[in-house]
Amino acid sequence: MKVTMTVNGATCSGEVEGRTLLVSFLRDTLNLTGTHVGCDTSQCGACVVHVNGQAVKACTMFAAEAQGATVATIEGMADADGTLSPLQQAFQDHHGLQCGFCTPGMVMSAAALLAENPKPTEHEVRHYLEGNICRCTGYHNIVKAVLAASGQDIPAVAAE
Amino acid sequence: MPKDHGIGASIKRREDVRFLTGTGNYTDDINIRGQAHVYFLRSDVAHGRLNKVDTTAASAMPGVIRIFTGTDFAGVGGLPCGWQVTDRFGVAMKEPGHPVLAQGKVRHVGDPIAAIVADTLEQARDAAEAIELDIEELPAVVDMKAAIKDGSALVHDEIGSNLCYDWGFVEDNKAAVDEAIKGAAHVTTLELVNNRLIANPMEPRVAVGDYHRATDESTLYTTSQNPHVIRLLMGAFVLGIPEHKLRVVSPDVGGGFGTKIFHYAEEAFCTFAARKLNRPVKWTSSRSEAFMSDAHGRDHVTKIELALDADHNFVAVRTETYANMGAYLSTFAPSVPTWLHGTLMAGNYKTPHIYVNVKAVFTNTVPVDAYRGAGRPEATYQLERVIDKAARELGVDPIALRRQNFVREFPYQTPVAVVYDTGDYDATMDKLIEMADLAGFPARRAASEAKGLLRGLGVNCYIEACGIAPSNLVGQLGARAGLYESATVRVNATGGIVVMTGSHSHGQGHETAFPQVIAEMLGVDESMVEIVHGDTARGPMGMGTYGSRSLAVGGSAMVRATEKVLNKAKKIAAHLMEASDSDIEIKDGRFHVAGTDKSVAWGDITLAAYVPHNYPLEDLEPGLEETAFYDPSNFTYPAGAYACEVELDPDTGRVTIERFAAADDFGNIINPMIVSGQVHGGIAQGIGQALLEGAVYDDNGQLLTGSYMDYAMPRATDLPFYSVDHSCVTPCTHNPLGVKGCGEAGAIGSPPSVINAVLDAMNSGGIKIDHIDMPVSPARVWAAIQTAKA
Amino acid sequence: MYAFDFVRPTTLADAVAAMAHDEAQALAGGQTLIPSLKARLASPATLVSLTGISEMVGVCRADDGAVCIGGATTHAQVARDAAAHYPALAKLALGIGDPAVRNRGTIGGSVANNDPAACYPSAVLGSGAVIVTNTRRIDADDYFQGMFTTALESGEIITEVRFPVPMQAAYIKFEQPASRFALTGVYVARYADGVRVAVTGAAEQGVFRWFEAEDALSANFNASAIAGMAPDADGMITDLHGTAAYRAHLVGVLTRRAVQAA
């Protein structure tokens, strides 16, 4: 069947099977390989994208269910000229990533959090990121980055 | 003011931009025109005789290109083991074959039986279901101690036993150790398990094999920490492809933690099948597949005895460990419980007599190999746990007991072969006490108790051997590889610099940190330096990234190559300014003739090297490119002290980490921001081991923790902000940067402090208990409380 | 995944018609079903997505005061829209899975699946809710029939769940460390005619009511009324993450905490 959706502002169409996952459509059909697959049980969150403004796991949603939807992926987070968004910039400034594999999902989840809750507490950040597993950072700098992106004073919450 | 460039500056990582914008290039992002997909049919029984693998019907399924089985690999080499351990009787370890696809028997759940290559992955999976298997199930060998008793089923019939080796270290110490323990005033004995872990880098493994018939060249794209090593192992030992016809590329790799060091069957298969089919073949592991095919880590069962004299000086340590090898010997498996474990059993202490016995055992489980820390966490855990237990038995302060026994004179020859070059264990302990606010602990405990919760404090020290290691030494110890590293520093005509290194970066930030070293040495800006890694076609032979060796060994190679560049650049500068090269000095990015106002810019020199119109051609070759191979003269010995504070809910058994502090001595630091990040990640993995993680097999060899539904990965809610410090510096004495390595420390140093804290909490609440095994799940804590009450 | 036909009706009537196909399977939020399809544990011929049916989405208040939640309403929407009507239920919804899961997973999917460790069944049973399907209304006490087993007939679709609103209620979940499902979860709700206590995660039969605690709490809605009490460990789950005895103990602890939180 044919599906059409708006991805990062552009209208995109492609042929899919019923079983084609949204993440496969993004990666294999649209070649948007920034969205990653890290597990098969809907736990790790490397595949988080926004569908109609809400964070979802693209590995646990069929492409056909995104028919007509507005989808945002990590590739659409920076400005058109390549300037990082404040959230992305905070991840770099605070060393919120190491191998980078969980990073797209982490950024998309964090962006969804800040849209819902512009000044989250440390506790709220940690809980919101419950569905995003990072093996490299121990989350320390990710939490710092998200708090920083929300405009909060970082040295006050964590020194190193 | 902190530095803003060069060595010691917390420069933001340049690699982040691509990772933050979804433009990284991970192996699964690589798709080659015309590629086929392979699905591995894996054993669902732990141990069985493979009577029949009938692929007739499956081969006729839609989209199937070819189905391979063990018989297709009859004339092909098996997966090699890179380290041969010699046992305490001088006999080489048992080394059974490890076929690419199972031959005759299956030996663990996940052992690949057949490889189905089809146009699409789903077609391959459909065909896999049509393969007719006749597996005669055999008793599964799971428990290590039972495995080496007479009458046990045999994982490998041909070696007649499940014992891989019985290693004694140092065998000549044994009698003196036995004697010292017999005569000691006090002996503390502890039996413990170092739980089996699964590394779980977030990127599952991927392999893409490609082949160009016209040139007879094979290319393997793979998620590896050391593509050159894979090229050597796979080319020379498995497939018989010489290096000049085999290229291995590891592009962006999403974490390794050890489990991406090893050469795996899937890599060999994709390379092999691409040649056979003249078509690219791709394999992407699912996470479920990763659980049963990535090498696991740890899995030791240990008894340790610590003997003390009447004044509480340590007089002897004796340990006996059963180390699980799994079903086959993974690439470096034999070295982990031996040379990476026994040599660290002195810890930070001047114990005069030490003897380590390790029995490595084959079982019907996934192979076990190095995982972050590899042997050193196992050594640290048992030693730091038994010291805490001794302190409790003797009624003395655990910190004071440690301090009393610290090594304070360097170099220090341990009784377990290695020589610590430098260190200051008091400094890191002092720093820790300040950072962790140990003085404030009683008040925090009182506050917890007011909420009905128990609070515990655990402290430990650690030492590790990093920067692995002198090739001549490891060769004597059984390594079948050298452990040098290489670097080529290529300076271009307009002054830009490209460094080709064998150290692979998969999260460590080499692309940012390495240029800081080069920039400092040459007086140029970091932006002038580019790091190239992960492609055997683009750099000299290298040994890769593991054992916290990238900076200590790879960085040293870079320094050596850069020194050669610098020497040549000075000669060119001297020629351009008609001076002597011994008078050339670098200041503010320019090459000056000392004591004069004459100078040339870096770009003048590099241009002269490549446009040698005015150039000493009779003395110097044109060009500016140098290569160095660095082989270290010793390991490096990072060390430190860690403290953990937990809260424990006695009603549910739940333990939460309230505070965590780490004071490390890593020698000199290139990029403090990156170093802190490495420690954070290591601590999270250590806390994960202590509280959450553990791979569990049932008696039939079925993996009960086969997905994230049952294998508990640490999440943001499980962890606190950490307090880390690396301001205590005793520079390494034998490498040019004075660096020691920081990648594994967090994972090595953190588990004992967590467990020590849990036990402190329980004992403070009147729950008299002297040990609890990891992971300290709520259920396990609650059960321990019930036992203690009974 | 095996191949299947995928249909995404926009009306309940069309969904019911589609479910009449041989080996048709309803797809709610898919947060459990899709992973099991990936593992090839299910092989429907037709997958009928319920996510496009607007009449099955939403939270409203019925004339009798019950909070009515459309079967295809996501956990996130329940957390948001039920908060003013039934805070304990909204809080439970806010604790399921993680934000991305809550944005897809639905109450109908969870209740139809009846995972023994899921959160929602405890709220449904603990509130004495009514499960409304395209054909009938089923009382919670008749609906849950053992793990992964319910009173639903083949092809029957949960269109709504109606919750009588209690005077006081709370849900306390003790998470299984890996999956973050309930290792044990207890839902306590106090109504004018008595207290209901529903337990998830603990028992081999799936969600169940702890009648002994209900009686004690109905007489005296105070944690002290059930001090030291725990259900029998017989029939409780023993697995990697806890023994039957541990789960039975947790039921007692969590029930007391739920009463305190209510």
Q: Does B63 touch chain C (CB under 8 A)?
A: no
Tell which residue, C234, C238, C253, has the closest CA to residue C186: C253
CA separation, residue B254 to residues A31, B678, C80, C256 (Å): 19, 15, 36, 45
Per residue in B418-456, pLDDT (tens digit) is 999 999 999 999 999 999 999 999 999 999 999 999 999
Closest residue in C to B786 (Cα) is: C246
Q: Does C174 touch chain B (CB under 8 A)?
A: yes
Q: Which of residues 11-70 of C touch A (CB under 8 A)?
A: 27, 30-31, 34-35, 37-39, 47, 49, 51-52
Closest residue in B to A134 (Cα) is: B202
Which pLDDT score is estimated for A159? 56
Contact C178 B782 (CB under 8 A): no
CA separation, residue B643 to residues B53, B344, B425, B648, B754 (Å): 55, 20, 14, 16, 8
Q: Does A21 touch chain C (CB under 8 A)?
A: yes
Contact C178 B710 (CB under 8 A): yes
Tell which residue, B681, B83, B683, has the closest CA to residue B336: B83
Which pLDDT score is estimated for B75? 86
Q: Say which amino acid occupies C248.
A: A
From chain A, pick out residues whose CB is under 8 angstroms from the CB of C98.
45, 128, 130-132
From chain B, pick out residues whose CB is under 8 angstroms from the CB of A40.
286-288, 707
Q: If you ran DSSP here, which 8-state letter would residue B501 be given? A: E
Which pLDDT score is estimated for A153? 87
Tokens representing residue B661 in the block: 């502090």
From chain C, pick out residues whose CB is under 8 angstroms from the CB of A17.
3, 6
Which pLDDT score is estimated for B265? 98
pLDDT band for position A157 (50/70/90)?
Answer: low
Contact A104 B16 (CB under 8 A): no
Calculate mean pLDDT across residues A67-81. 97
| pLDDT lower than 70: segments of chain B | 1
CA distance C78 to chain A (A): 15
pLDDT band for position A74 (50/70/90)?
Answer: very high
Q: Does A126 touch chain C (CB under 8 A)?
A: no
Contact B779 C253 (CB under 8 A): no
Which pLDDT score is estimated for B588? 83
Per residue in A14-55, pLDDT (tens digit) is 999 999 999 999 999 999 999 999 999 999 999 999 999 999
Which pLDDT score is estimated for A156? 63
Q: Token pair 């992973």 is at which residue?
A: C35
Which pLDDT score is estimated for B589? 84
Which pLDDT score is estimated for A6? 98
Contact A62 C39 (CB under 8 A): no
Would the pLDDT of C129 be above 80?
A: yes
CA distance C185 to chain B (A): 13
Q: Say which amino acid occupies C55.
A: E
Contact C178 B709 (CB under 8 A): yes
pLDDT averaged over every residue in chain A: 96
Tell which residue, C207, C211, C176, has the closest CA to residue C197: C211
Which pLDDT score is estimated for B138? 98
CA distance C242 to chain B (A): 5
Which pLDDT score is estimated for B235? 96
CA distance B719 to chain A (A): 7
Which pLDDT score is estimated for B1? 63
Cβ-Cβ contacts under 8 Å for B23 (sequence gap 6 or more): A34, A75
**Is this prediction's ipTM beyond 0.90?**
yes
Q: Enumerate the H helices of C51-202 as residue ranges.
A: 75-81, 87-94, 99-102, 107-113, 120-126, 140-143
Q: Does C39 touch chain B (CB under 8 A)?
A: yes
d(CA B458, CA B756): 4
pTM of the model: 0.97
End-to-end CA distance of chain B, in Å? 60
Chain-centre distance for alpha carbon B430: 29
At how many degrees (to 10) do helices A103-116 and A86-93 cross? 120
Parallel, antiparallel, or unpaired for β A70-72 and A48-51? Answer: antiparallel
Which pLDDT score is estimated for B783? 97
CA separation, residue B591 to residues B585, B587, B603, B726, C252 (Å): 6, 7, 10, 34, 78
Would the pLDDT of A107 be above 70?
A: yes
d(CA A156, CA A12): 45
From chain A, pick out residues whose CB is under 8 angstroms from the CB of B681.
98, 135-138
Q: Which of residues 172-201 of B touch A (CB under 8 A)?
A: 200-201
CB contact at 8 A, B485 and B469: no
d(CA C82, CA C161): 12
pLDDT band for position C31 (50/70/90)?
Answer: very high
Per residue in C86-125, pLDDT (tens digit) is 999 999 999 999 999 999 999 999 999 999 999 999 999 9
CB contact at 8 A, B274 and B343: no
Would the pLDDT of A158 be above 70?
A: no
From chain A, pick out residues whose CB is under 8 angstroms from the CB of B714.
138
Burial class (CB in 10 A: 0-12, 13-18, 19+), B105: buried
Closest residue in C to B695 (Cα) is: C240
Contact C101 A42 (CB under 8 A): yes
CB contact at 8 A, B294 and B198: yes
Burial class (CB in 10 A: 0-12, 13-18, 19+), B23: middle
